[in-house]
Amino acid sequence: MEENLNKEVKRRRTFAIISHPDAGKTTITEHLLLYSGAIREAGTVKAKGKKSNKFAKSDWMEIEKQRGISVTSSVMQVDYDGYQINIVDTPGHEDFSEDTYRTLMAVDACVMVVDTGKGIEPQTKKLFEVVSKRGIPIFTFMNKLDRDGREPLDLVSELEEVLGIDAYAMNWPMGMGKTLLGLYNLYNQRLEIRHSQDEDELIDLADPMLLQGQYDFTKSSIYSQAIEEADLLHEAGNQFDREKVNCGKLTPVFFGSALTGFGVQTFLDAFVDLAPSPAAVETVTGEVIDPVQKNLTGFIFKIQANMNPAHRDRIAFVRIISGKFEKGMNVTLQRTGKTLRMAHTTQFLADSREEIQDAYAGDIIGLYDTGNLQIGDTIYAGNQEVQFPDLPQFTPELFMKVSPKNVMKQKSFHKGMQQLVQEGAVQLYRSYHTEEYIIGAVGALQFEVFQYRLKNEYNAEVEMENMGSKIARWIDPAELDPKMSSSRNLLVRDRFDQPVFLFENMFAENWFKDKHPEVHLKQLM
């Protein structure tokens, strides 16, 4: 039994893909599903939102479509080459929200997809910063090599400069776009020559024919330039260091094209090989919970409420930290000390939601909830109490003033507001002087969901007044003088009564810093 637990945990890879919209996250995911046999055709994942006879990713999407709001951060679980892969989706575009960030707290590694035509884009940078603070491995896939993009050397140095991480090229492109010859794969010590969409030739670097220059391509300037660049990079650049990869200080960089599938399998093989299996996690008392310990432990990183308005169900997403989950088992909800029977759970597959029988450390399961669970809750089996640290709060960037439309409905407005804030749907502030309600979010979708849910679940309609984007900075109450507030830096308090300045823009923040150099401005994660 224990040996089995060991084996199951070791073969798990739980990760998220971070990228700016349109960099190719969906296309890469699709290839992973294709290679693993979970889907049969490219284009399936994209079926979301399109009229298609192919099956949709999950039935949630149907529900979301009916609601007109897409809020799912789904989890896909597939078997790839003997590994159990859990991909946790990080919604982008208009779906971007605090949930996107919280999801990153539940993974053991990240794949960062960069469009070679564009380089590091804003959303990638934001997500990178959150992941980077966790010190987990980050793997980079430079995508769209089938198109003419920016110079590879330029892309790698931009990555290092903008993100402040060292990079190590695992493979190097030989040409790009129409002139794409293939990849010089340093990790596997071979060349991958692309002849056509269906035909790649693998040539070992020690192949005598290659060494003697008998292949035609060795005469091309594209080939010699690529070899020169890669050699230069490896002599002058960073050395590969597994330790540094493990703590997120060095990112292995792979080039490829998700659309044509070129370089994707190589990347995935290296990824499952190098990415870590579930790690041990420290509790609030400093105890270290080993993933292979027998007792089940886990924490809730996301609650998806009322996905089906007809059933009003809530699903709590649990990241299992240790042990084995078995359907119907009892656990303790640490916050209340109450016993929780895990009878109705779900796991997430590429094509459907299914009731699960068992799951292991590293997996993510969905627990049907009737309103007892909160984001950040710890659950544990056995008699020994376990409490994992709270999830961080993230600095919101967008703000709205809210007030109830109907003053007669104050009570439901306050109740709804309190519950939704507690659930982490939005963050709540009160202005110092006028006591107005201000809500903050990292993505505009959060406001939409908030408004929708207040109306539908609490029967409270709200007026919302857009305040636009602001830079929120926390300050020590001892350093505060309410006179510091002005129209360009509004003073508010958060729900824990801590003072916060909402700066109009960076200039306002800098102006404030110059004027009050003694005041320390802090941001959340």
Q: Single out the segment in contact with ligand G4P by CB under 6 A; choices: 140-148, 413-421, 451-459, 482-490.
A: 140-148
Interface map 461-500 toward ligand G4P (x if CB under 6 A):
----------------------------------------
Site for ligand G4P contains 64 (CB under 6 A) = no
Strand partners, 499: 493
**Contacting ligand G4P (CB under 6 A), which of 89, 95, 146, 494?**
146
Give 338's Cβ-side CA count (13 Å radius): 7
43 closest CA partner among 6, 34, 110, 295: 34
Q: Are 250 and 165 in contact (CB under 8 A)?
A: yes
Known binder of ligand: residue 97? no
Site for ligand G4P contains 144 (CB under 6 A) = yes
Known binder of ligand: residue 143? yes
Known binder of ligand: residue 25? yes
**Contacting ligand G4P (CB under 6 A), which of 10, 21, 61, 244?**
21
Place of tokens 């971007």: 96
**Contacting ligand G4P (CB under 6 A), which of 10, 46, 134, 430?**
46
Place of tokens 């895990």: 342
Q: Single out the segment in contact with ligand G4P by CB under 6 A; choices: 15-23, 80-88, 149-157, 427-435.
A: 15-23
Known binder of ligand: residue 324? no
Helix axes 122-134, 152-163, angle to 10 degrees: 60
Q: Single out the segment in contact with ligand G4P by CB under 6 A; choices: 55-63, 133-141, 254-262, 503-511.
A: 254-262
Known binder of ligand: residue 119? no
Q: What are phi and psi of 339, to 5 degrees?
A: -80, 140
User: Nearer Cβ to ligand G4P, position 29 or 427?
Assistant: 29
Q: Which helix (H) or strand (E) holds 408?
A: none
User: Nearer Cβ to ligand G4P, position 26 or 251?
Assistant: 26
> How many Å apart are CA 217 and CA 172, to the nearest integer?
16
User: Nearer Cβ to ligand G4P, position 25 or 126?
Assistant: 25
Interface map 256-275 toward ligand G4P (x if CB under 6 A):
-xxx----------------
| Token pair listed for 159 | 């990555």
Known binder of ligand: residue 32? no
Give 148's Cβ-side CA count (13 Å radius): 2
| Token pair listed for 285 | 């008392």
Site for ligand G4P contains 111 (CB under 6 A) = no
Site for ligand G4P contains 121 (CB under 6 A) = no
| Token pair listed for 413 | 């407005």
> How many Å apart are CA 83 and CA 11, to the nearest integer?
5
> How many Å apart are CA 202 and CA 185, to the nearest integer?
10
User: Nearer Cβ to ligand G4P, position 124 or 332?
Assistant: 124
| Token pair listed for 129 | 């910063």
Site for ligand G4P contains 24 (CB under 6 A) = yes
Least separation in angstroms between CB 39 and ligand G4P: 14
Site for ligand G4P contains 22 (CB under 6 A) = yes
Least separation in angstroms between CB 74 and ligand G4P: 13
- Between the alpha carbon of residue 326 and those of residues 1, 296, 345, 489, the distances in Å are 13, 9, 10, 52
Site for ligand G4P contains 23 (CB under 6 A) = yes
Strand partners, 87: 15, 76
- Between the alpha carbon of residue 468 and those of residues 99, 102, 210, 487, the distances in Å are 20, 23, 59, 14
**Contacting ligand G4P (CB under 6 A), which of 48, 147, 488, 513?**
147
Q: Are 359 and 325 in contact (CB under 8 A)?
A: yes
**Contacting ligand G4P (CB under 6 A), which of 11, 18, 27, 169?**
27
Least separation in angstroms between CB 6 and ligand G4P: 35
**Contacting ligand G4P (CB under 6 A), which of 72, 140, 143, 185?**
143
Task: Return the SS3 of 128.
Answer: helix
Q: Are 140 and 251 in contact (CB under 8 A)?
A: yes
**Contacting ligand G4P (CB under 6 A), which of 11, 12, 13, 25?**
25
Strand partners, 325: 359
Least separation in angstroms between CB 257 and ligand G4P: 4
> How many Å apart are CA 104 and CA 71, to the nearest integer?
16
The binding site consists of 19-26, 89-93, 143-146
Annotated binding site for GTP: 19-26, 89-93, 143-146
Q: Which residues bind ligand G4P (CB under 6 A)?
A: 19, 21-27, 46, 143-144, 146-147, 257-259
